[in-house]
Structure 1
Amino acid sequence: METSEVSQVKAATNGPRAFCVAMPPSGRPCKMTGEQPSDFISILQDADIAWLNFSVSEIHEETAKIASALGFSSSLVPSLLSGYYSAYEDRDTELGLMLPAVRVTGLKVDVYPLLILIRKNLILTMHTKEVVRLVHFYRYAETFMRKIKPVLPWQDKLTIFLTRLIDENNSANFDHLRRIETQGDELSSRLTDPTIPRNIIAPEIHNMKHALIQYLDTLWATLDVINSLRHGDAELITDSPKLLARIGILAGDVNRQISLSEHMSEVLASGLEVLQSIYNNQLQIINNRLALAVTWLTVLGTAVLVPNTLATIFGNTAFDLKPSDAGWYSAMLIISTVGSTLLAYWWIKKKGIIPKAIS
C-alpha cells in the first residue's frame, strides 16, 4: 500500500465514525460528522437529498444495526452481504447495492464490500475502515451537491449523486489496476534475462495472473450491478434517458477496464510460454553439453582401451619381453594410442554424434 493510502487509513480510523452531506430546503448544502445514526436524524428529516457514510469495524454486525436505525428493512443488509463481491436488491421503496472496493498491496488483492442503501431523499454508504476512497470525495461533496438543481425530481437527484459515488469507487479500483500494470512491466523486463532461475520467476508470474483474475472478478461483479441499475427500472431511480446514459457511461468504463485486464492476462500467458521456452532451451544446452562430454569420454576411452589391451597381451610371460624390447614396445603403444584415438574420433564425427553447438 502506498504511503498516502496508509495515512488515509489512519486518518479514517482516528477520525469520526460517520459523516453526512445534506441539502436542506434552503438550497445550501451542509456537512456534519458524528458517531451514531441518531446524531443525524434531525438533519436527515429536513433534507431534500442527503448522503450519509459510516465506517465500521465489523461489516456484518454493525451495518445491519445502522441500516435498521435509519429506517431500512432489517433483512436488506444480510441479503446484500450474501452475494459474491456484488449484489442488487430492489424493494420498491428502498434499494440496496453492494459493490467491490479493491485494494492492491504488492500482488495481493483485497476486496472489501461497499454497501449503498437508498430510500427517498437518502443515500447511505457503509464500509470497513480499510476503504478510504469516499473520505476523499467527502471533501468536495458539498460543492458537487450544490450543482444539483433544486427543481429536479428527487429521483433525478438521487440518481445523479449515486452515479457520482459509483464512479468514485470505480476510479479508485482502476487506480489499483495501474499498480498491477506497473509490476507487470517490471516482471516483463525480468523475463528478458534468461539467467533468472525458473523457480523464482514462475511463482511471480502465477501470483500476478492470480491477482488479475481476482481483479477481473470484481470488474464483472461491478458491471452486473451497473447493468441491473440501468435496466432494472427501480422506483427510486430516474427514468430520464439523459441520466440513465450516465450509468451507461459507467458500464462502458468498466468494459474498457475488463478488456485491458484480459489483455494483460494474455500477455502473462505469453510470458509463461516464453518462460517454458527458455527453460526448454536451458535443458537442451545441458543435454548438448552432456552429449559432448560423453562423446569425448568415448574417444578417450577408446584411446586408453587399445594400448591397455596390447599391454595386457604382451605382458603375458609367453612373450618373454626383455628390457631391450622397450623401444619398439613403447613405439607400438604410442602408435596404437594415437591411431585408435583418431579412428574413434573419425567414426563418431562421421556418424554425426558430436553436437555441433551447445547453445
Structure 2
Amino acid sequence: MIKTINIAGISMQGSSFKLSNIKAEEILSISSSCTVVWTECVVDDLPATAGEVTKALGITLDPSVLLASYLSGYEDRGETLGLMLPIIMFVGSKVRISPMLIYIRKDHIVTIQDEQAGKILRLSDYTNTFFRRLPTNPEEWKDRQTTLLIRIIDELSEHNFTVLRMIVETAEQIEIDLAGLRQIPRDLTIEMSNIKTSILTFLNAIWATHTTVHSLRYGDPDMVSDNDTILTKFDVILAGLERQIQMVEHVLEVLTAGMNVLQTEVSNKLGSFLLWLTVLGTAVLVPNTLATVYGAFPASETEMLPRLLVLIASTTGATYGSYLFVRKWWGRARRIRRKKTHY
C-alpha cells in the first residue's frame, strides 16, 4: 500500500514547487509540465507495492529485477535507469537493511522506500532552495537530474554514516564495560557477538553502495550527464564511502582484539581451574590408593604410626609434585599462546 507521495520540481515557467500527499495517478500530469521533477514515494511493503508505483508512472523496468540483486543494484535500460541502494538502520544493537529504489528518466527521478526506514532524505525540507540552483536551459536536462541524483545519493550516504556513528558508540561502550568487569556476564558476550555481526552487515552494505555508485560514475548511462565537473561529485561520494569502509574495518579490528582478550581470559580461568583440580585429584588419589592397600592387610598397633606417616608423606609429596608438574606445563602453554597472539 502506498502511504505518501510527495512531488517537488521546477515548472516550465522556471519556478520551483512542492506538493504533498498526492495520488499516484496525478504524477504524470504534474511531471509533464515541468523541466525536472523528483517524486518521493513511501510504501508499507516495498517488494509488494513498488510495482504499483512503477505501473502508475509507466516505468517498464520491473522492481523485481533490482530487488533480486544483493543489497544494491544497477540496471541501465537506455531511457530508464534503475538503482537500488541500501538504507541502513540500527535497532536494538542489530543492523537492518531496507532497500531504496531509484528510477531515473528524462526530467524525472523517482525514489521508493519502505516506511519503516523513516525519513531519510532531508532534501524534501528545502527543495525550493535546492531546485532554484539547478540549471534552467532545456539543453541541460542531464545536468539538472544528475545534480539531483547526486544529492539524493549523498544524503543516503550521510544517513548511513550516522548509523555508523551509533555502531561505533555501542562498540566503545562495550569496551568500557569490559575494562571495568572482573567477570564477563553472558549478556555482554551476546551483545559483543551482535555488534560484530552488525559491523559486518554494515560493511557489506557500504561495499554494495560503493559498487553501484562506481557503476553509475563509469557506466556512461544515457540518463546521466557527461559533464566532468558534475561527474567529479560522484568521486567525492566514492571517497566518502571508502573512508566509511576504512573506519568500519578499524572498528572491526578493535572489536576482534577485544574478543580475543575475552577468549584469552576465559581460557586462563579454565586452565587455572583445571590446574587446581588436577592437584586436588592427585592429592586425594595417592593416599586413597595406599589406604586401600593397607586396608586389605590389618595392621598391629606398632604398624599404625609408620603407615600414618607414609600416608601423610605420600599425600604431601604427591600434592607438591603434581603442583610443580602442572604449573610447569601450564606456564609453557601460556608462553606459547602469548607468542601466537603476538604474531
Pairing partner for 1:261 from 248, 259, 280: 248
Aligned partners of 1:294 and 1:269: how far apart in 2? 37
Of all paired residues, the percent bearing the same amino acid is 27
Q: Match for residue 273 of structure 1?
A: 260
Q: What does 1:106-255 align with in structure 2 at a 5 Å threshold?
A: 106-134=92-120, 136-151=122-137, 153-192=140-179, 193-197=181-185, 199-255=186-242
CA deviations on 1:110-133 (whole Å, 9 max, x unpaired) are 211101111111111111111223
What is the match of residue 335 of structure 2?
A: none
SS in 2 for 1:34: coil
User: 80-89 vs 287-296, which deviates more?
Assistant: 287-296
Give how far 1:350 is off. Answer: 6.2
1:85 to 62, 71, 74: 71
1:96 lines up with 2:82 in the alignment: yes
Structure 1 residue 335, shift from structure 2 partner: 7.0
| 2:12 aligned residue (25, 28, 53) | 25
What is the SS of the residue equivalent to 1:204?
Answer: helix
Cα distance in 2 between the residues matched to 1:351 and 1:125: 72
Relative to 1, partners in 2 of residues 1:145 and 1:61: Cα closer, same or farther, differing over 3 Å? Answer: same
Question: Would you say the 8 A contact 2:283–2:318 is kept in 1?
Answer: no
Task: Report the CA distance between 1:333 and its aligned residue.
Answer: 4.7
Q: 2:308 aligns with which of 329, 337, 340?
A: 337
More displaced 10-residue stretch of structure 1: 174-183 or 131-140: 131-140
1:89-128 C-alpha deviation (Å, 9 max, x unpaired):
1122121111111111022222111011111111111111
| Length-normalised TM-score, structure 1 | 0.80
Q: For each residue in 1:31-53, what CA deviation from the matched residue of structure 2 results, as whole angstroms up to 9, or x when unmatched?
A: 10134222333431221111111
Larger Rg: 1
- CA offsets 1:231-255 (integer angstroms, 9 cap, x no match): 0111111111111110011111111
Measured in 2, the distance between the counterparts of 1:348 and 1:59 equals: 70
* Alignment correspondent of 2:43: 56
CA distance in 2: counterparts of 1:350 and 1:293, whole angstroms: 12
| Whole-Å separation in 1 of the counterparts to 2:248 and 2:325 | 48
Kindly provide the amino acid, as one letter, of the partner of residue 158 in structure 1.
Q
**Cα pair distance change 1:348/1:120, threshold 3 Å:** closer
Q: Residues 336 and 306 (structure 1 numbering): CA distance in 2 closer, same or farther, change over 3 Å?
A: farther
Aligned-partner SS, 1:313? coil
Contact 2:81 2:223 in 1 (8 A): yes
Gaps of 5+ in 2: 332-343
Is the contact made by 1:117 and 1:123 (CA closer than 8 Å) also made in structure 2? Answer: yes
Cα pair 1:303 1:337 within 8 Å, conserved: no
Rounded to whole Å, the distance in 2 between the matches of 1:104 and 1:350 is 56
Tell me if the contact between 1:22 and 1:47 (Cα under 8 Å) persists in the aligned partners: yes
Q: TM-score if structure 2 supplies the norm length?
A: 0.84
Partner Cα distance (2:177, 2:293) in 1: 52
In the TM superposition, what is the alpha-carbon distance from 1:301 to its structure 2 partner? 5.0
Deviation digits for residues 226-275 of structure 1, max 9, x if unmatched?
01110011111111111111001111111111122222222233233222
Pair 1:208–1:140, CA change in 2 (3 A)? same
Following superposition, the deviation at residue 298 of structure 1 comes to: 5.5
Considering only aligned residues, what root-mean-square deviation do their CA atoms show, in Å? Answer: 3.0
In the superposition, relative to structure 1, how do residues 83 and 309 fare at CA in structure 2: closer, same or farther (>3 Å)?
A: closer
Q: Which residue of 2 aligns with 1:324?
A: none
Shift of residue 313, structure 1, vs aligned partner:
2.0
Q: Which segment drifts farther, 234-243 or 295-304?
A: 295-304
Q: Match for residue 318 of structure 1?
A: none
Whether 1:292 and 2:279 are equivalent positions in the alignment is yes
- Where 2:99 maps in the other structure, the secondary structure is strand
Which of 40, 46, 51 does residue 27 from structure 2 map onto?
40
